[in-house]
Structure 1
């Protein structure tokens, strides 16, 4: 199909994206070999460091979160495609400053293949690495089969919490345990009202009628089995929030984080209207909202919709979430 996008050669999208990203944020990041986006403060890091990976096309994720207090190196693949394991092993070697490396991988087939091959090589070479997988999409598998759940926006707060723990001098085992505890207590549900087009091929990722929405849409247009007539903001908020609360078994008096992540073509007006209803529902249920974010963290080109993320929180996790960071896409 015909696209209307400000691009040049479709075969050179990722290279040109990264060149522009580096030029725009040269105070924070440097572009290295193998499509690595590197934290400029990495050379000073006397701590556990963090490496992650993922395809381009989801900006600001993932490279927008490289910087102080979050990720040290992101390894970037082609549009919606995982990078190869060699680049990830090279990134881990470059990142390691003697305290070990936390390697965060989203649960998608290509990323997991790369992640497993990377860890196999790291083990063979005796590198000090622990892998944490983010897998929190409640639409495609029940909690008891969480290994089958897709990784959505939950990787971003995981970077933040792990990065803060590392900055405070925690050991690799401690940082990994904190990140894993957070990852085990998070859930995401996405909704889409319009699909995106793949910027390299022009193919439509999801085809929805004008009067339809789909709750459970995956990162790349994968169906979630929740196609239904379009609902209002309040109705959609209630359906999705209740599903997340039920999945996490959140009880009265507990503390939660709530993130509304716009996926590319949904306005902040819409997101704030949805968030307003979510906050009211949490108050009604006597669930304490202790951390939140509304905006675009991980997009899918011009897909219209959002991902609703919830995590069970405690005082330690709130402390890490509120710790300082300085990255292109998030500063606290």
Structure 2
């Protein structure tokens, strides 16, 4: 089947989308060398700053969350590909305003290779940076093997929590500890009913039958071992809620953040119906949702499905989540 997308030369996808992002948000961010998307107010930042990285093709993630209260520099790789380590080292140098840099990396092979090489160089240069890895996909490894878990939408609320902690003037060690505590108490499970196509090649990333869905689908069409007949919103939400609650160990009376993140081709109507079902399922367990988001944060082109994210919350994390931020795709 021929790919139908409103694009120009496939080789220019990343540069053109970044130019468009900058044109659409001239008061919030600007473009730097090596595909850096930079918080326009970075120059006056007298605080810990936040650098992250990731491939394009997942918009609005990650570059859409650059701005005050979240990410200071995002280094963007090509479609579904990690950037090189030198660009990330340069971004950390640029971001450091004397208070240190929190460097957040999603757990994918290419990103981790870049992240590890970046930190080796950062240490050689004597830069003050701490790396935090988001790795919350419950489908491809048990919690005791968290290093094998993929990073999914959980990076976005981690940026928000860490960015708010930095804005409060906390030290790098404090900001990193808060980000790590949040990351250690979060989990995501994805479901897909139709795969995406790679926007440069037209390759289908996942092939599902008309009456099939897959719980545990990875960010780039990786199989999760949960292929099954299509189920209703309530049935799907119950399966996913129960898996996430069990994984994190959420107990009666606890409070959580709940995010339904559309993967690109699932309507807001469907996402809200799933959210409704998830809240009701949690209420049966006397678990209260105190923070939420329903919509698209991290997509996979036109993949149909969603990611359900859950995190244990406390008063400090809730305050940080609700703190002001100004980015293209999240404002508080």
User: TM-score scaled by structure 1?
Assistant: 1.00
* Match of residue 176 from structure 2: 176
Q: Deviations over 1:35-92 (max 9, x none)?
A: 0000001011000000000000000000000000000000000000000000000000
1:250-289 pair list within 5 angstroms: 250-289=250-289
Q: Please give the alpha-carbon distance, in whole angstroms, between the structure 2 residues aligned to 1:4 and 1:225.
A: 29
Q: Distance in 1 between matches of 2:41 and 2:202?
A: 38
In structure 2, the partner of 1:23 is 23
**2:62 is the alignment partner of 1:83:** no
Counterpart in 1 of 2:150?
A: 150
RMSD: 0.5
- Measured after TM superposition, the shift of residue 225 of structure 1 is 0.1
Matched positions, count: 332
Deviations 1:105-160 (A, max 9, x none): 00000000000000000000000000000000000000000000000000000000
Alignment-derived partner of residue 105 in structure 1: 105
Q: CA–CA distance in 1 between the matches of 2:275 and 2:30?
A: 35
The DSSP-based 3-state class of the residue aligned with 1:54 is strand
Q: Which runs of 4+ in 1 moved over 4 A?
A: none
Match of 1:126 in 2: 126
Structure 2, unpaired ranges of 5+:
none
Structure 1's unaligned 5+ residue stretches are: none
Which deviates more from structure 2 when the two are superposed, residues 280-289 or residues 72-81? 280-289
Aligned match of 2:201: 201
Is the aligned partner of 1:188 residue 2:206? no
Q: Which residue of 1 aligns with 2:55?
A: 55
Instruction: Give 1:219 shift.
Output: 0.2
The aligned residue for residue 159 of structure 1 is 159
Matched, 1:249 2:249: yes
Per the TM alignment, residue 236 of structure 1 is displaced from its structure 2 partner at its CA by 0.2
Deviation (angstroms), 1:288:
1.3
State the Cα distance separating 1:243 from its structure 2 match.
Answer: 0.3
Deviation at 1:323, TM superposition (A): 0.3
- The answer for the alignment partner of 2:141 in structure 1 is 141
SS of 2:150's equivalent?
Answer: coil
Quote the Cα distance in structure 2 between the aligned partners of 1:137 and 1:304.
18
User: What whole-Å deviation, never above 9, does each CA across 1:147-178 have from its counterpart, x for those lacking one?
Assistant: 00000000000000000000000000000000
Structure 2 distance, partners of 1:327, 1:16, is: 19
Deviations 1:201-224 (A, max 9, x none): 110000001100000000000000
Matched, 1:12 2:9: no
Q: Which residue in the other structure is 2:65 paired with? A: 65
Three-state SS of the structure 1 residue aligned to 2:34 is: coil
How many Å apart are 1:284 and its aligned residue?
1.3
Structure-2 separation of matches of 1:200 and 1:166: 37
* CA distance in 2 between partners of 1:111 and 1:279 (Å): 33
The TM-score, its normalising length taken from structure 2, stands at: 1.00
> 1:300 — aligned with what?
300
SS of 1:105's partner is strand
How far off its partner does 1:281 sit?
1.2
- Offset of 1:2 from its aligned partner? 1.6
How far apart are the structure 1 equivalents of 2:125 and 2:185?
32
SS of 2:319's equivalent in the other structure is helix
Question: What CA distance in whole angstroms lies between the structure 2 residues aligned with 1:134 and 1:178?
Answer: 13
Q: Report the Cα distance in structure 1 between the residues aligned to 2:237 and 2:10, rounded to whole angstroms.
A: 37
What is the distance in 1 between the residues matched to 2:244 and 2:316?
Answer: 22
Partner-residue secondary structure (3-state), 2:153? coil
Question: What SS does the corresponding residue of 1:2 show, helix, strand or coil?
Answer: coil
Secondary structure of the residue aligned to 2:214 is strand
SS in 1 for 2:301: coil
Q: Distance in 2 between matches of 1:25 and 1:289?
A: 32
Between the aligned partners of 1:201 and 1:31, the Cα distance in structure 2 is 26
